[in-house]
A and B are shown apart, each in its own frame.
Chain A
């Protein structure tokens, strides 16, 4: 079992719709969770971090964490074509530990 799993996609949504990206992880000791966006040919950039169960909203983005189910998701409201990218989920066990990345989900927002 891979440590962090994501559907590879592509996930296609129409412009203005809600895009839902999912991530599961195997290490129950994971404490910190991150979503990165990576445009083709570019480096990853941090979108959201979440540390506690529940929802965390930042603009059009909402991260959801459920540690009991070992599940973290990212919702993108009012999706725009500029949101088309690969979204990487990353988890971190503890202070001083390295990040573990999922394979990424490719999102395509259709005009």
Chain B
């Protein structure tokens, strides 16, 4: 079946512009996560959606970052007034959260470059 998809795969933007990154999770997965990974660094958790519960936004680095998940499926991560330090690969992952089945599957990522 189809895996997690993300678009665009690459995005180059000028400092100060807003960007939107899209994630299409695996059908039926109730959990959706956003991470970012700067060059040579580990995965940094950003935000987590679980079903209809309020999202866990504890990882968002500033109020320039926001995300929404419509209809429990597609998610959009928005970065306003981008800064050069926002340059990273942004990964989306989806998963199930039943007991013993708490895996997450990653999309290919969106490489964001802020010039």
Contact = CB atoms under 8 A, between A and B. Distances in A.
A18 interface: no
Contacts of A34: 103
Contacts of B104: 46, 99
Interface residues of A, number: 21
Contacts of B53: 96
A42 B109 CA distance: 8
B107 interface: yes
Contacts of B28: none
Contacts of A88: 42-43
A98 B48 contact: yes
Contacts of B97: 95-96
Contacts of A101: 35, 42-43, 45
7 contacts: A42-B108, A46-B105, A95-B102, A97-B56, A99-B45, A101-B35, A104-B42
Contact of A49 (B50, B91, B102, B105): B102
B98 to A, nearest CB: 8
B33 interface: yes
Interface string A64-92: 00000000000000000000000010001
Given A96-B53, A98-B59, A101-B45, 15 more contacts: A32-B102, A43-B106, A43-B107, A43-B109, A44-B106, A45-B106, A46-B103, A92-B102, A96-B50, A96-B97, A98-B33, A99-B33, A99-B104, A101-B35, A101-B43
B107 A49 contact: no
A68 to B, nearest CB: 22
Contact of B100 (A46, A51, A92, A98): A51
Contacts of A45: 106
